[in-house]
Amino acid sequence: MDLKEITPLVIYDNECYLCVQFAKFVNFLAKGRLHFVGHYTDFGKKLREDILDSNALGMFWFIDNNTAYGGRAALGPLFSSILNSNGKIIQKNIAEDSCELGCKSPKAVFFRSASLLTNSKKIKISE
Q: What is the pTM of this model?
A: 0.83
Dump pLDDT digits (tens) for 87-111. 666 766 676 655 555 666 777 767 7
DSSP 13-71: -TT-HHHHHHHHHHHHHHTT-SEEEETTSHHHHHHHHHTS-TTGGGS-EEE-SSEEEEE
Q: 99, exposed or middle or buried, with CB in 10 Å at 0-12, 13-18, 19+?
A: middle
Q: What is the mean pLDDT of residues 11-19?
A: 87
> Residue 12: which pLDDT band, with cuts at 50, 70 and 90?
very high
